[in-house]
């Protein structure tokens, strides 16, 4: 929750941070699918772009395991190790699946975390 807290602090308001988290979670399946298709096509540029998108947004919401997995796969692509990247993909999918399965708990935890910080959500 510290990353979401930092994002809310940077924005000066928890609402956009919570919206970003919700949007991140809703877009997670499409982002992973984009990586899967790019790897299947062995398209280094598209795979890298898709990985960067997921890596950066994961870092912003505090999905550190996903961020690290994206970084590792990105490194494999840069070294032209598509087979290794493809073998690493199921672990990324499992991590994102766990994240999605915890979606309501994550959003609730973020709301609770931000509600106690600086009086956010007093009016709710």
**32-70 confidence digits (pLDDT tens):** 999 999 999 999 999 999 999 999 999 999 999 999 999
| Domain hosting residue 56, numbered range | 3-116
Q: Is residue 100 part of a domain?
A: yes
Q: Is residue 123 part of a domain?
A: no
Q: Is residue 121 part of a domain?
A: no
Q: Residue 110 half-sphere exposure, CB side, CA atoms within 13 Å?
A: 25
Q: Residue 57 half-sphere exposure, CB side, CA atoms within 13 Å?
A: 19
Q: 84 with 75: CB under 8 angstroms? A: no
Mean pLDDT across 90-116:
92
Q: Is residue 24 part of a domain?
A: yes
The CATH number given to whatever domain includes residue 42 is: 1.20.120.160
The model's pTM is 0.85
Q: Is residue 50 part of a domain?
A: yes
Q: Is residue 8 part of a domain?
A: yes
Q: Is residue 80 part of a domain?
A: yes
Write the DSSP assignment of 16-43 as a string of letters.
Answer: HHHHHHHHHHHHHHHHHHHHHHHHHTT-
């Amino acid at each position: 929750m510290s990353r979401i807290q930092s994002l809310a602090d940077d924005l000066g308001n928890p609402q956009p941070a919570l919206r970003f988290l919700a949007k991140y979670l809703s877009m997670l399946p499409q982002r992973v699918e984009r990586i899967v298709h790019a790897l299947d096509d062995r398209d280094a540029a598209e795979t890298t772009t898709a990985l960067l998108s997921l890596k950066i947004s994961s870092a912003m919401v505090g999905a550190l395991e996903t961020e690290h997995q994206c970084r590792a796969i990105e490194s494999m692509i840069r070294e032209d190790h598509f087979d290794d990247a493809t073998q690493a993909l199921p672990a990324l999918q499992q991590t994102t699946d766990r994240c999605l399965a915890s979606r309501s708990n994550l959003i609730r935890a973020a709301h609770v975390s931000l509600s106690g910080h600086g009086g956010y959500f007093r009016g709710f």
